[in-house]
Amino acid sequence: MVQKINSVHGHISISRAARQAEFPAQFQLIAAMNPCPCGYLGHFNHKCRCTPDQISRYRAKISGPLLDRIDMHIEVSALKQDELIENGVAESSANIRRRVEAARVQQLARQGKPNFALNTSEIDTWCQPDEAGLSLLKSAISKLNLSARAYHRILKLARSIADLAEKPHVQAADIAEAIQYRRGDI
């Protein structure tokens, strides 16, 4: 069985023997996993007793090509009791929503579609960083051995970061932040 998922275009093709079927499919994947088999790697209480080999085998259960298709990989550390209880000052959900809606309107006005749906030539047109950003991206490609897919995803994510900050052009700081969200690749 061969499956071809193209969520950008909103369909999935499944091929088996002499038949092929196409179904509508447009989705956003949000997933979570523990950092190691026991779940305590990096925890402040130092409970983890997993060996490096166990951690490596555990993380290898998710294939590289699948990880390469996930735009953002964010590690969330466990909070200590006092951090969990204290009330921190944060931007309100209403303000975040307004910024996201404004960024989406800006994307649609600029290019007629959201950043995630840009094809390669459109990425070249709308997501090009400044010179410092391009230099940083070139360095990341060579040092982190990024694929062409990761390169394009970083550019689209950096464009979204710039849009949220209401910047007209992608800058080095936007590229740096987008690269940080690919840390799971490293």
Quick one: pLDDT at residue 112?
96
Model confidence pLDDT, tens digit, residues 77-94: 888 888 888 887 889 999
Do residues 49 and 55 touch, judged by C-beta distance below 8 A?
no
Q: Cα 162 vs. chain centroid, distance in angstroms?
A: 15
Model confidence pLDDT, tens digit, residues 115-168: 999 999 999 999 999 999 999 999 999 999 899 999 999 999 999 999 999 999
d(CA 106, CA 20): 38
Q: For 58-72, 89-103, 132-146, which range has the lowest pLDDT when averaged over its residues?
A: 58-72
Question: Two tokens at 120?
Answer: 């390669």
d(CA 159, CA 107): 9
Asked if pLDDT for residue 5 goes beyond 80, the answer is: no
CATH 1.10.8 fits 93-185, yes or no: yes
Where in the chain is CATH 1.10.8? 93-185
Other residues' Cβ atoms within 10 Å of the Cβ of residue 160: 22
Quick one: pLDDT at residue 4?
46
Give the SS3 label for residue 43: coil
Strands (E), 41-137: none
Quick one: pLDDT at residue 8?
54
d(CA 121, CA 123): 5
Model confidence pLDDT, tens digit, residues 11-54: 888 888 888 888 888 888 888 999 999 999 988 888 999 999 99
AA letter at 172 = A
d(CA 77, CA 59): 17
Question: Two tokens at 82?
Answer: 């006092």
More confident residue, 122 or 185: 122
Taking residues 50-76, what's their average pLDDT?
A: 91
| Per-residue pLDDT band at 55 (split at 50, 70, 90) | very high
Quick one: pLDDT at residue 121?
95
Quick one: pLDDT at residue 81?
85
Other residues' Cβ atoms within 10 Å of the Cβ of residue 181: 18
d(CA 38, CA 132): 41
Asked if pLDDT for residue 1 goes beyond 80, the answer is: no
Quick one: pLDDT at residue 184?
57
Give the SS3 label for residue 88: coil
